[in-house]
Amino acid sequence: MDDLTPRAILDGLCTQFLARQLVYYEVIDSTNAVAKDLANQGAAEGTMVIADEQTMGKGRLGRQWLAPKGSSLLFSLIFRPHLPVPRAQGLTMVCGLGVRQAIRELTCLPAQLKWPNDILLRGRKAGGILTEIGSTGQHLDYAVVGIGLNVNMDTSQLPAEFNATSISQELGRLVSRVQLLQQILLRIEERYLALCAGEWPAAEWASALETLGQWVELHTAQGKWRGIAQAVDNEGALLLRLENGQVKRVLEGDITLSRRNNGPLSPRNK
Ligand code: BT5
């Protein structure tokens, strides 16, 4: 039921170009690292690198992505869109929306997204997306979009502070990783082709973000702020309405839900 080899993936895959070239590892350090090397060597658009286990799975800002062997979908896709660098977040948007749609279609779970790159099930993190780019001048040479999704995982194997969940945990049964992957790839490809035809996904992405309109705490490398996650703009930046009424625009960070009045933030952040 749960064979992730290229033969199993290609058997029943309905995409035109996505994952038609694919590289599979039983164990690898990071599928994103391999995909970036391949992209730099000229690998074709649509190439997928997938693994059953990673020894150095990466999140953003040097963070780790942990996944016990056989529990997850861990894959990276190479795209070569004609886009200016500031539009790279569009790839994260189409991939997040594709994953969300495929989970909903195959499991009926109400999957949601969280700014900027999380996949949530019932408010807890079930997946993450790491987009890394190569560029010449103002334009993208390639974008590698890495997706980690907790499919058949007992998340008590992860540190409790991750607040993680998995599809099997929410559903109460195991699901076929290969079927889910095929559906994800199909939905991502449709959305990517639409993006290349000029349909920008920001509005739909915004409507799929669970935290918009709510009080949140924002953590960035520069500090911590609290406010209402008012909107996202076309480039995927978060517009945070601070308690003093100012609107702060941020491209990178993490948000967690917060109550309106739960104490002052430190003065340097006001
Ligand atoms: C992400 O980063 O969420 C992006 C994760 C992307 C992983 C994929 S796997 C395939 C490809 N190859 C790679 O090497 N990476 C990509 P970030 O938003 O920085 O979140 C990282 C944080 O999520 C960690 O610091 C933990 O708190 C938490 N975390 C780690 N593993 C998790 C898991 N399996 N489920 C839920 N949360 C997890």
What confidence tier does 259 reach under pLDDT thresholds 50, 70, 90? confident
User: pLDDT tens digits, residue range 26-77?
Assistant: 999 999 999 999 999 999 999 999 999 999 999 999 999 999 999 999 999 9
How far is the centre of ligand 1, averaged over its atoms, from the C-alpha of 255 (Å)? Answer: 15
CA distance 87 to 94: 12
The finding on whether 229 has its CB within 6 A of some atom of ligand 1 is no
pLDDT at 36: 98
Confidence of residue 2 (pLDDT cuts 50, 70, 90): confident
Contact 260, 217 (CB under 8 A): no
What confidence score (pLDDT) does residue 98 get? 98
Judge whether 1 lies within some domain.
Answer: no
Q: How many domains does the chain have?
A: 2
User: Are residues 127 and 253 located together in one domain of the fold?
Assistant: no
Distance from the CA of 246 to the center of ligand 1, in angstroms? 31
Could you tell me the CATH number of the domain that includes residue 32?
Answer: 3.30.930.10
Residue 243 reports pLDDT greater than 50: yes
Q: How far is the CA of 20 from the centre of ligand 1 (A)?
A: 25
CB neighbours of residue 237 within 10 Å: 19
| Structural domain span for residue 81 | 6-207
Task: Examine the domain organization and report whether 106 and 196 are in the same domain.
Answer: yes
Task: Kindly report whether the peptide bond that precedes residue 81 is cis, defined as omega within 30 degrees of 0.
Answer: no
Distances (CA, A) of 64 to 48, 58, 111, 148, 264: 21, 5, 23, 11, 31
Ligand 1 neighbourhood includes 165 CB (under 6 angstroms):
no
Q: What single letter denotes the amino acid at residue 86?
A: P
268 assigned to some structural domain = no
Same domain, 21 and 77: yes
| Same domain flag for 150 and 175 | yes
